[in-house]
Structure 1
Amino acid sequence: MDLLHRLVTAEPLLALFVTIALGYLVGKIKIGSFVLGGVAGTLLVGVVIGQLGVNIDNGIKGIFFALFIYAVGFQGGPQFFHALNRRSLNQLASAFVMCFTGLLCVLGAAWLFGLDRGMAAGLAAGGLTQSAIIGTAGDAIGKLGLSPELIKTMQTNVAVGYAVCYIFGSLGPIIMVSWFLPIIMKWDIRAEAVKLASVLSGGHPELDPGQFNAARPIATRIYEVAAISKAIGISTLAIDRQISDASVEAVYRQGKELELGDTTIIAAGDHVATTGPIVQLEAAAILLGHEVRPPNGLLLVQENREIILTSRALCGRTVGDIHDQVNVETRHGVFLTAVKRMGLDLPVLSKLELKRGDELHFTGSPADLNRVQAKIGYEITAAAVTDFVFFGIGMLIGLLIGLIEFRIWGIPISIGSGGGCLLSGLLFGWLRAVHPNFAALPVGASNFLRDFGLAVFVGIVGISAGPQALVAIEHYGLTLFFLGVGVTLIPQIVTFFFSYHVLRIRNPIEALACVAGGRSANPAFAALLTKAGNATPVVSFTVTYAVANVFLTLWGPLIVGIIAKNAS
């Protein structure tokens, strides 16, 4: 033990990286379907290692939290601003009611049980499972002008409150959305998800988990034009119109490839290469003739390309509407295979409404994809690099915003560097979606900033809290745990029935997804997806999740400003 103490005293970063490694290892341990997670695991391991008396510069903690929260804002910026519209107003209201009810529960618990600012913020962070509150509240506490000892005590209480309340804070929403609410409402989640998918897809059947529609993958087939084929003497464009969602990619005559154009005329004996969904290729076979093997050395290049949607003409429209309105010449050879929003896969259904910033996955020839790309948005390329000019400006603006102090009902409030970088990240993330030539921050880079920034921050919080954590847990004990249970459950129950009866969010899948998203509860969302067996909860969750992330993060300094009691 003495050797360990000398090592971490000589090089405190040893303790930090050991904490991160062990914390994420502990976070992988599964108890049934429950996983603690790397963040909570790192915090708990940090508290243990902190008993060695490790001292790590708080400046490191501040830098990495600012990077983490900026990345969170940058990734959620496009969807946050696009969610602010009339069509999703009831879901936005549901998310705000959830966040506001959670805030009231925390303030009520602090008043009834005499919690200090730090412990109340920790209760909010753990009970509402919003790790960012640890940083924004701790930052606000540091600006209260109190003694260093008192500030450290209350910042420790934030971490303690989070650690004690986090486990049920994660488990509670899972119970609510996957068991309790469906039971009392007599809902069959899987049946309702199948029903909703059928409505969204225009009546197409929904498959069971593990099944897939083998007729949908994009394929290329070569057909020999029969002597009696109706395709003889007509153009390739006319054939495209007849076979709808499939398209002619190449024509070979006597072993030589013809220069393909809309006016190319098909003759008997031609070999016609056709690409499209297999179900559409059946129509091509009927029109052209029997399938043949491709000739030796044939090369038909196809590309999978990811394009970010920025076109105002397409935003807000459904997939089916766009398909029906775009002519064959435009959509020739271009096939939509997947849609992602905020990293989540959306069901590619005819009634799926596209939003600015959606990631659209296409398959087609490079020439066809180049033709339509400018009409859709901009390509995500593997060679994308971080625009450090705008990244630096974004961080600068966020830190400056954090210095602003204002008053609400006479209470001094400052959102701090964490809240400032969140708002700046939201702004620059939106700027990137609207003007793709600026503020590039590739997904891999932003994911690393987010995950590593949070890991370092939480590790330092746990290590710094170590010496005082056991005292705080002994003082508050089970009282704090049960307060966390109340903060976890009450907002969900109130918001669910308010949303159902007042906001009229009656569809079971959408209602449950709003509960999970309004709590920014990823484990609950994962459980709901498992029960649903399809991606129907994704859209409602995404809207409410984006809004909840912003409000819950801002609750940290608000709680510190409203509650007047300091730690004794």
Structure 2
Amino acid sequence: MEQLIELLNEPLILVFVILFLGSWLGQIKIKGLSLGAAGVLLVAMVFGHFGYEVSPIIQNLGLSLFIVAIGLQAGPSFFRMMRSKGMIFGIIALVIVTISVITTIIVAKTFHISPALSVGLMTGALTSTPGLAAALQATGDPLASVGYGIAYPFGVLAVVLFVQLLPRIANIDLKKDLQKAKDPIKTEQSPEMIKVIVTNSKFHKKTLRELDFSKKSIVISRIIRNRQTMIALSDSVILLGDKLVAVGVQPELDAFSKEIGKKVDVDLENPDNIQLQKITVESDELIGKSLKELNLRQTYGATVTRIVRNGIEIRQNPNMPLIRGDVLTVVSTEDRLKEIEKLFSKKKLTVTNVHIFSISTILLLGILVGMIPINIPGFGTITLGIAGGPLFVALIIGHFGRLGPIHVRYYGPANQVIQELGLVLFLAGAGTTAGQGLIDVIQTEGLKLVLAGTLITIIPIVFGYLISKKIFKLSVVHSLGALSGGMTSTPALGALNQLIDSEDPAIAYAAAYPFALIFVAIAAQLIVFFL
């Protein structure tokens, strides 16, 4: 036992023992739920209670790495979403965080809870580790970690239960509700699908290439002839009486149908060999290229009918450059779709391409920016700190992808490695510091903190959902997806995905999540002035 205690006094051994036990605890699942990285925090608190402490340098290094990875991940979509209809989800995230702040202030005043504990409870209720990082920077008090640790488990459980139980209790058919409600993905420029029968003789025996719709948004995806459906290719010949399946913006579709024939309402039954599949653009080699350059029709016998970018369905333009994360709806045969999926996906053997120079530069710039004093009238002077500074710089550089010699378009898992490593190092340090006062806090304010954390969790959930549904008129699926993103709850998204086979929950979650990350980090620093 004495030898074990001596070993734990070695800084590196202490860190890795905490990481080992914490990650093991975080992997334990009870009815599909697990603590995840929060397991490291809880184990570190126990070690902290017995007097062990992880070096602040390790904690700050972990914090900086984690925050930079979050910024680089959110950067590409954050600013684009602010210019699109996806701002609806940003507003919902802002409302959820604002209600959380108001609830936290009221609860803190009512129960006489210290500012550090209160902010920690809020970030735990929102399951936001970046928020905890900002709270520790703003308060300089390790008790924020105690509040986070107390509120976090219920914060995870409450959103998951709300998502699972609401449709059952209210007896809601999610698919029907999704069809009836307002679709935030669609805009005035979103494509629609029509079926047109060819009656104009001048188009008889013409190929699709000869029709030349390249200057329009119209895409002919399939041809129905004698009840047989065929994939529409550039050299496909059109005959009188053919029914064309066309996708495009409504005004152009109306003009097209009048020119070539008339709209018809026929059932579209694809034979077994023709399928639709959603494919995500991930390959570095294809980013920046247009559909015209890729020439999928000629090369693969496939047609792209729709493009969803940053959660919004956009008008298709053959010359528009593709960006990472674009989701294409592709029509082709099963074998060809597999080939196209490989074409657009990351190469399986791509190495983890972390660019140390770029990461170091972002960290250095971020820490320097975090030290700049910012004067806020009525509140005094604040700094962005080790959390806010790197986050701000990473968001900007992540948006552009490359600034001079700095480039951050990493292979996906590479960013995940940086994020996970930084997170557990930060939690190990924050936990041991917080653990020194854990027992005293629980003994004196335990029940009060649990009740406070419950209120700070439940009130934003209810208000966030009602605002999404009643004010923005979103479907239940989009409302719950936005709520999961606004509460930064990935387990809730997983629960929602089990209820309906659709990409809509993920779109709403992905649109709200980056806004929530930023707003919680900002709120965690500003709320201190009100407490």
Aligned residue type for 1:514: A
Q: How does 1:26-41 map to 2 (within 5 A)?
A: 26-37=25-36, 39-41=37-39
The Cα shift of 1:158 comes to 1.0
Task: Give the aligned partner of residue 105 of structure 1.
Answer: 103
Residues 1:327 and 1:131: Cα distance change in structure 2 (over 3 Å) = closer
Question: Secondary structure at the residue paired with 1:56?
Answer: coil
User: In the alignment, which of 527, 530, 543 is matched to residue 511 of structure 2?
Assistant: 543
Q: Give identity over the alignment, percent.
A: 25
1:249-307 Cα offsets, whole Å, 9 max, x none, are xxxxxxxxxxxxxxxxxxxxxxxxxxxxx949689xxxxxxxxxxxxxxxxxxxx9843
Question: Secondary structure at the residue paired with 1:333?
Answer: helix
Task: Give the aligned partner of residue 72 of structure 1.
Answer: 70
Q: Is the 8 A contact 1:77 1:428 kept in 2?
A: yes
Aligned residue type for 2:43: V
Aligned residue type for 1:420: G
Aligned residue type for 1:387: H
> Following the alignment from structure 1 to structure 2, what is the Cα–Cα distance between the partners of residues 117 and 354?
49
The Cα shift of 1:163 comes to 1.1
> Following the alignment from structure 2 to structure 1, what is the Cα–Cα distance between the partners of residues 159 and 321?
28
Q: 2:299 aligned with 1:333, yes or no?
A: yes
Q: Is the 8 A contact 2:181 2:474 kept in 1?
A: no
Q: 2:497 aligned with 1:529, yes or no?
A: yes
Task: Give the aligned partner of residue 222 of structure 1.
Answer: none
> Following the alignment from structure 1 to structure 2, what is the Cα–Cα distance between the partners of residues 178 and 81?
32
Task: Give the aligned partner of residue 462 of structure 1.
Answer: 431
> Following the alignment from structure 1 to structure 2, what is the Cα–Cα distance between the partners of residues 558 and 140?
8
Residues 1:68 and 1:105: Cα distance change in structure 2 (over 3 Å) = same
> Following the alignment from structure 1 to structure 2, what is the Cα–Cα distance between the partners of residues 51 and 505?
49
Q: Is the 8 A contact 2:120 2:145 kept in 1?
A: yes
Q: 2:324 aligned with 1:357, yes or no?
A: yes
Of 436-445 and 453-462, more deviation after overlay is shown by: 436-445
> Following the alignment from structure 1 to structure 2, what is the Cα–Cα distance between the partners of residues 509 and 327?
36
Q: 2:446 aligned with 1:483, yes or no?
A: no
The Cα shift of 1:3 comes to 3.0
User: In the alignment, which of 493, 497, 508 is matched to residue 462 of structure 2?
Assistant: 493
Question: Secondary structure at the residue paired with 1:33?
Answer: coil
> Following the alignment from structure 1 to structure 2, what is the Cα–Cα distance between the partners of residues 328 and 27?
44
Residues 1:491 and 1:527: Cα distance change in structure 2 (over 3 Å) = same
Task: Give the aligned partner of residue 391 of structure 1.
Answer: 359
> Following the alignment from structure 1 to structure 2, what is the Cα–Cα distance between the partners of residues 522 and 377?
23
User: In the alignment, which of 263, 283, 290 is matched to residue 307 of structure 1?
Assistant: 283
Task: Give the aligned partner of residue 424 of structure 1.
Answer: 393
The Cα shift of 1:119 comes to 0.5
> Following the alignment from structure 1 to structure 2, what is the Cα–Cα distance between the partners of residues 138 and 202?
49
Question: Which 5+ residue runs of structure 2 have no aligned equivalent?
Answer: 195-205, 211-220, 224-229, 236-269
Question: Secondary structure at the residue paired with 2:381?
Answer: strand
- Higher radius of gyration, 1 or 2: 1
Q: Is the 8 A contact 2:72 2:408 kept in 1?
A: no
Of 392-401 and 482-491, more deviation after overlay is shown by: 392-401
Residues 1:339 and 1:494: Cα distance change in structure 2 (over 3 Å) = same
1:205-246 Cα offsets, whole Å, 9 max, x none, are xxxxxxxxxxxxxxxxxxxxxxxxxxxxx99989x9985456
The Cα shift of 1:394 comes to 1.5
Q: 2:144 aligned with 1:158, yes or no?
A: yes
Q: Is the 8 A contact 1:20 1:42 kept in 2?
A: yes
Q: How does 1:158-177 map to 2 (within 5 A)?
A: 158-177=144-163
Residues 1:438 and 1:112: Cα distance change in structure 2 (over 3 Å) = same
1:470-498 Cα offsets, whole Å, 9 max, x none, are 11111111110111111111012112222
Q: 2:528 aligned with 1:560, yes or no?
A: yes
Aligned residue type for 1:8: L
Q: Is the 8 A contact 2:125 2:152 kept in 1?
A: yes
Question: Secondary structure at the residue paired with 1:65?
Answer: helix
> Following the alignment from structure 1 to structure 2, what is the Cα–Cα distance between the partners of residues 327 and 441?
24
The Cα shift of 1:40 comes to 1.6
The Cα shift of 1:110 comes to 1.6
Of 46-55 and 79-88, more deviation after overlay is shown by: 46-55
Please give the TM-score of this superposition, normalised by the length of structure 2: 0.73
Q: Is the 8 A contact 2:100 2:456 kept in 1?
A: yes
Question: Secondary structure at the residue paired with 1:407?
Answer: strand
Q: 2:49 aligned with 1:51, yes or no?
A: yes
Residues 1:547 and 1:172: Cα distance change in structure 2 (over 3 Å) = same
> Following the alignment from structure 1 to structure 2, what is the Cα–Cα distance between the partners of residues 446 and 111?
40
> Following the alignment from structure 2 to structure 1, what is the Cα–Cα distance between the partners of residues 68 and 168?
40
Q: How does 1:32-431 map to 2 (within 5 A)?
A: 32-37=31-36, 39-142=37-140, 154-155=141-142, 157-180=143-166, 182=167, 185-189=170-174, 191-192=176-177, 244-245=231-232, 279=271, 306-307=282-283, 331-334=297-300, 335=302, 356-358=323-325, 382-383=350-351, 385-408=353-376, 409-431=378-400
Q: Is the 8 A contact 2:45 2:432 kept in 1?
A: yes
Task: Give the aligned partner of residue 13 of structure 1.
Answer: 12
Aligned residue type for 1:27: G
Residues 1:545 and 1:305: Cα distance change in structure 2 (over 3 Å) = closer
> Following the alignment from structure 1 to structure 2, what is the Cα–Cα distance between the partners of residues 437 and 461?
30
Question: Secondary structure at the residue paired with 1:83?
Answer: helix
Aligned residue type for 1:488: T
Question: Secondary structure at the residue paired with 2:85?
Answer: helix
> Following the alignment from structure 1 to structure 2, what is the Cα–Cα distance between the partners of residues 477 and 55?
23
> Following the alignment from structure 1 to structure 2, what is the Cα–Cα distance between the partners of residues 169 and 279?
47
Please give the TM-score of this superposition, normalised by the length of structure 1: 0.68
> Following the alignment from structure 2 to structure 1, what is the Cα–Cα distance between the partners of residues 43 and 436?
13
> Following the alignment from structure 1 to structure 2, what is the Cα–Cα distance between the partners of residues 328 and 460?
49
> Following the alignment from structure 2 to structure 1, what is the Cα–Cα distance between the partners of residues 177 and 314?
17
The Cα shift of 1:393 comes to 2.2
Residues 1:381 and 1:428: Cα distance change in structure 2 (over 3 Å) = farther
Q: Is the 8 A contact 1:82 1:355 kept in 2?
A: no
Q: Is the 8 A contact 2:146 2:435 kept in 1?
A: no
> Following the alignment from structure 1 to structure 2, what is the Cα–Cα distance between the partners of residues 196 and 355?
30
Q: Is the 8 A contact 2:54 2:428 kept in 1?
A: no
Question: Secondary structure at the residue paired with 1:36?
Answer: coil
The Cα shift of 1:337 comes to 12
Residues 1:487 and 1:433: Cα distance change in structure 2 (over 3 Å) = farther
Q: 2:482 aligned with 1:514, yes or no?
A: yes
Alignment length, in residue pairs? Answer: 450
The Cα shift of 1:382 comes to 1.5
Task: Give the aligned partner of residue 451 of structure 1.
Answer: 420
Residues 1:327 and 1:105: Cα distance change in structure 2 (over 3 Å) = same
Question: Secondary structure at the residue paired with 1:510?
Answer: helix
Q: Is the 8 A contact 2:134 2:387 kept in 1?
A: yes
Task: Give the aligned partner of residue 200 of structure 2.
Answer: none
The Cα shift of 1:84 comes to 0.5
Residues 1:355 and 1:555: Cα distance change in structure 2 (over 3 Å) = farther
